[in-house]
Amino acid sequence: MAKGLPTRKDDYSAWYNELVKQADLAEHSAVRGCMIIKPYGFAIWEKMQRILDDKFKETGHSNAYFPLFVPKSLFEAEEKNAEGFAKECAIVTHYRLKNDPNKEGKLMVDPEAKLEEELIVRPTSEAVIWNTYKGWIQSYRDLPLLINQWANVVRWEMRTRLFLRTSEFLWQEGHTAHATKQEAIDETEQMVKVYADFAENHMALPVVQGLKTESERFAGAEETYCIEALMQDGKALQAGTSHFLGQNFAKAFDVKFAAKDNKLDYVWGTSWGVSTRLMGALIMAHSDDEGLVLPPKLAPIQVVIVPIYKKEEDLEQIKTALAPLTKVLKAANISLKLDDRDSFRPGFKFAEWELKGVPVRLAIGMRDVENGTIEVARRDTKEKMSWQLEGAGENIKQLLEDIQQNIYDKALTFRTSNTTEVNTWEEFEKALDAGGFVSAHWDGTAETEEQIQDKTKATIRCVPLNNPQENGTCILTGKPSKERVLFARAY
Amino acid sequence: MAKGLPTRKDDYSAWYNELVKQADLAEHSAVRGCMIIKPYGFAIWEKMQRILDDKFKETGHSNAYFPLFVPKSLFEAEEKNAEGFAKECAIVTHYRLKNDPNKEGKLMVDPEAKLEEELIVRPTSEAVIWNTYKGWIQSYRDLPLLINQWANVVRWEMRTRLFLRTSEFLWQEGHTAHATKQEAIDETEQMVKVYADFAENHMALPVVQGLKTESERFAGAEETYCIEALMQDGKALQAGTSHFLGQNFAKAFDVKFAAKDNKLDYVWGTSWGVSTRLMGALIMAHSDDEGLVLPPKLAPIQVVIVPIYKKEEDLEQIKTALAPLTKVLKAANISLKLDDRDSFRPGFKFAEWELKGVPVRLAIGMRDVENGTIEVARRDTKEKMSWQLEGAGENIKQLLEDIQQNIYDKALTFRTSNTTEVNTWEEFEKALDAGGFVSAHWDGTAETEEQIQDKTKATIRCVPLNNPQENGTCILTGKPSKERVLFARAY
């Protein structure tokens, strides 16, 4: 970490890449586009998983596990979905290696071990899951079926970036089946709200909830809800999606149920997911030129204590002085690290924990012990304070809450001041170049949407939920429009 | 579940297969050899994961995530390991589908999207992880490196059985690196003890800890420790392994560290894992002809309450009477289900929860409400009792502990009475046919081991740890031997 980061202003993209590596979050692997999530990065992901998993269970969902591989014929069954993912599928064609007769000690694919039918490595699991639901659903008594899976998926991406776009990534995918259209829509909306709540209250990340336009919808869905966040470089990032699938997959896989009146009908479906992409959003939304800034609720280490001492017996005295404080913090389930490594100097440790985004750093030397004080540094504002050791535990608990709130408030202020309403094409282009969300009228056609993207690289991020209705004219074509939509350049 | 199970005596194998399906634990998928783990089965696996993960963290390990794919050249680097897994590898050769010109609406593998180098779907992750460790380890300060991963792996099996042997399975794999040989051996031994503790104290499954013979060792290991359990049909099951890798992978991937004296040396490695195979062991060790028997510590539902009533207002009275009891049980974190489905009769519900192995079933009708009593049925012994409602909460807590202990004791008694010491070939064959572990002298050669297997289908399960030394003669060759080893037919 002594290397220093590029600044966000100089090169936002290099800043992000270096930060991910230097803070020990992730790195590239020997396989093109696949990442290695390092222990410190994975600890953050585990916290995200635990919180989300609890929320899914509170809303009635159970976890299950479905196969990694999808036979090609199953994959094809829902045509739009298959078309949407076909170009990025990793495909298993053989199941055995053998000794290479031409190269001593080397192996080759055994041509005799060709599979009768190729297997797709799942890019998403609708096909394999709906094919299974056919066997699980006979009557209204089997509904709703509310299932989630934590899994790895593969989408063969040509241009990859750690966490944001990788060929293999980790995610959860919910797949539910319902007796009525309304119930499925309610579920879709419930889950986008669960995601928004998680983003705002745990990731400290304000998000816009909205609907995707038809061209941005999930392949095979009738409606895609999303949460959209704004990064510090003014680009938007889709942080989660929840899809109303209508009866599309039920029809493709023949999943019918007998209602109370014994009439047979296709069930209604939803699917919803968030992925390790959230890690990218978390990093880019809050961090600064010195390193990560982690919201306390997701920080693997919430408080680090750096003792400052020369003699071994001083360290013992410091530990004794700290004992009442650490007891209070541990009792409050605050994750605490005492960094007493003797091979590094305090300044080095300060920089390391700053880089790694630990929300609160405590430092304590012999003079503090004498005075009954402790130095408290908060990561978000870089403020340093000298506190009385007595009662510090309660104050630190409060400080962690304040930091969580402050990180959110800062991101919200940033988003508010980077969301611009425009009414003309000239204003639109100018606002896009300045960065952020641009709220504008659009004539509602896919052609106009595409033309705008070709001219500006901006896409419609969403039509916000509960969007105010307002008469206006399309910024490109001048045709009439009844509501504004949110444009942005995006990750 | 109305269908009834085959009995263990009539057809143990059919009993197991049907039980897994009827108890909603798992089922076969559309992909040969890959299973679907259903919500009830997955809930048990999640409990196992949580307990094991806590134990790994208590012993200093962190979780991380490494790629699903291994480039063929990396896979080959440790030759013994590569040879050991080559014949069962799923191989990705292409990364895109395209529209099939010969079949409308169908997709085909795009021949132009051939990968330059084939990718192996990980059968185990030593190769990809040791290739990464090369970048993570420079000096003794980076050691020990203690990492675990929860992941799916693929071994293309020709004959599969749900949980016991599937082409894709879920597991955890620990991979550690150490500065000294002794430290790596200590780690290997520590982890086999962690597994034994989990098996005995949570799965209620007595296990023998031991060492594998050379021919049964993990490909690429210098020593394989294992835990071996005995199933009710007298066959053994390997439930977990912990490998001392020596410097094999460090040499294959050139992973060196500078010691305190600045000398460079290869690091010492271990790897260890348990998988969804444990689910198979759990089911086969304890269950009976009526269904699953789950130890309370792993049961997703520990207590089920079946109210017996005719009128809706009776149900309300029953719920009121139950309120103090449910409060006590919830406060003790006991997972509780009130089965008030009105579409099924009590007898049907009793049979369902019996099939699903819920440790304690409570039933309560209007007469019980009047008398202040409740019917208590334990799954393991099928004993039924009428208890006073008052104080039932504390008694149920104790009962769950008793059941946990009783299931363990029963399995231990079974193992003890099915472990036979033999001294002649005749006794050996007879004991194998009777089933169970057979403790016998063996001359220590791989040839004899193979001959015994060819003649009897029995393998050496392990050389138990702390094995008493005793002079004897090999049951097959009559050559001298210094200790007995454990033979059995095995899963």
Contact assessment for residue A363 and residue A375, using Cβ atoms and an 8 Å cutoff: yes
pLDDT of residue B105: 85
Per the CB < 8 Å rule, is B34 touching A120?
no
- Grouping H, G, I as helix, E, B as strand and the rest as coil, residue B321 is helix
Mean pLDDT score of chain B: 97
Per the CB < 8 Å rule, is A107 touching B118?
no
- Grouping H, G, I as helix, E, B as strand and the rest as coil, residue B140 is helix
Distance from CA of A300 to the nearest CA of B (A): 11
Chain B nearest-CA residue for A38: B64
Chain A nearest-CA residue for B167: A67
ipTM confidence score: 0.97
Domains plus CATH for chain B? 12-67+134-286 (3.30.930.10), 303-399 (3.40.50.800), 419-488 (3.30.110.30)
pLDDT bin (cut points 50, 70, 90) of residue A2 is very low
Q: Which among A27, A31, A54 is the top mutation candidate for probing chain B, defined by the most B β-carbons within 10 Å of its own β-carbon?
A: A31
Per-residue pLDDT at A105 exceeds 90: no
Residues of chain B contacting A132 with CB distance shorter than 8 Å: 27, 29, 36
pLDDT digits (tens, 9 = 90+) for B128-160: 999 999 999 999 999 999 999 999 999 998 899
B233: which DSSP letter?
T
Residues contacting B404, CB < 8 A, separation 6+: B204, B295, B296, B297
pLDDT digits (tens, 9 = 90+) for B370-385: 999 999 999 999 999 9
Residues of chain A contacting B152 with CB distance shorter than 8 Å: 68, 151-152
Max Cα–Cα distance, chain A, nearest Å: 82
Q: Which helix (H) or strand (E) holds B329?
A: helix B312-331
Other Cβ atoms less than 10 A from the Cβ of B359: the count is 27
Residues of chain B contacting A66 with CB distance shorter than 8 Å: 29, 36
Distance from CA of A65 to the nearest CA of B (A): 5
pLDDT of residue A3: 65
Per-residue pLDDT at B409 exceeds 90: yes
Please give the angle made by the CA atoms of A110, A115 and A116, to the nearest 5 degrees: 140
pLDDT digits (tens, 9 = 90+) for B152-161: 999 998 899 9
Residue for token pair 């630990």: A358
B288: which DSSP letter?
B
Residues of chain B contacting A135 with CB distance shorter than 8 Å: 27
Please report the beta strands in B286-358, taking only residues with DSSP state E, as ranges in sequence order: 303-307, 336-338
Half-sphere exposure of A415 (CA within 13 A, CB side): 23
Q: Which helix (H) or strand (E) holds B15?
A: helix B12-22
Per-residue pLDDT at B193 exceeds 70: yes
pLDDT bin (cut points 50, 70, 90) of residue B3 is low
Contact assessment for residue A477 and residue A448, using Cβ atoms and an 8 Å cutoff: yes
Per the CB < 8 Å rule, is B29 touching A343?
no
pLDDT, average across residues B312-339:
96
Residues of chain A contacting B128 with CB distance shorter than 8 Å: 29-31
Contact assessment for residue B258 and residue B142, using Cβ atoms and an 8 Å cutoff: no
Name the nearest CA neighbour of A228 among A425, A439, A76, A6: A439
Q: Which among B94, B95, B167 is the top mutation candidate for probing chain A, defined by the most A β-carbons within 10 Å of its own β-carbon?
A: B95
Nearest neighbour of A128 by CB, restricted to B29, B67, B90: B29
pLDDT digits (tens, 9 = 90+) for A365-415: 999 999 999 999 999 999 999 999 999 999 999 999 999 999 999 999 999
Residues contacting A322, CB < 8 A, separation 6+: A305, A307, A338, A364, A389
Nearest neighbour of A95 by CB, restricted to B71, B76, B91: B91
Per-residue pLDDT at B94 exceeds 90: yes
- Paired tokens of B38: 């259903």
Exposure string of B171-195, with b = 16+ CB inside 10 Å and e = fewer, is bbbbbbbbbeeebbbebbbbbbbbb
Burial class (CB in 10 A: 0-12, 13-18, 19+), B268: buried
Q: Which among A91, A104, A150, A172 is the top mutation candidate for probing chain B, defined by the most B β-carbons within 10 Å of its own β-carbon?
A: A91
Distance from CA of A321 to the nearest CA of B (A): 26
DSSP output for B405-472: HHHHHHHHHHHHHTEEE--SHHHHHHHHHH-SEEEEE--S-HHHHHHHHHHHS-EEEEEETTPPEEEE
Per the CB < 8 Å rule, is A88 touching B107?
no
Share of chain A above pLDDT 90, in %: 97
| Separation of alpha carbons B358 and B304, rounded Å | 7
Q: Which among A28, A40, A49, A89 is the top mutation candidate for probing chain B, defined by the most B β-carbons within 10 Å of its own β-carbon?
A: A89
**What are the beta bridge partners of residue A363?**
A306, A375
Per-residue pLDDT at A49 exceeds 80: yes
Distance from CA of B238 to the nearest CA of A (A): 23
Name the nearest CA neighbour of A241 among A218, A207, A269: A218
Per-residue pLDDT at A1 exceeds 70: no
Residues of chain B contacting A28 with CB distance shorter than 8 Å: none
- Grouping H, G, I as helix, E, B as strand and the rest as coil, residue B303 is strand
pLDDT digits (tens, 9 = 90+) for A63-90: 999 999 999 999 999 999 999 999 999 9
Per-residue pLDDT at B1 exceeds 50: no
For A152, phi then psi, to 5°, come to -95, 145
Distance from CA of B98 to the nearest CA of A (A): 7
pLDDT digits (tens, 9 = 90+) for A255-278: 999 999 999 999 999 999 999 999
pLDDT of residue B389: 97
Q: Which helix (H) or strand (E) holds B335?
A: none
Per the CB < 8 Å rule, is A65 touching B42?
yes
Residues of chain A contacting B93 with CB distance shorter than 8 Å: 91-94, 109
Per the CB < 8 Å rule, is A65 touching B37?
yes
Contact assessment for residue B162 and residue B20, using Cβ atoms and an 8 Å cutoff: yes
Residue for token pair 């992973």: B255
Q: Quick one: how far is CA A16 from the chain centroid?
A: 15
Chain B nearest-CA residue for A78: B105
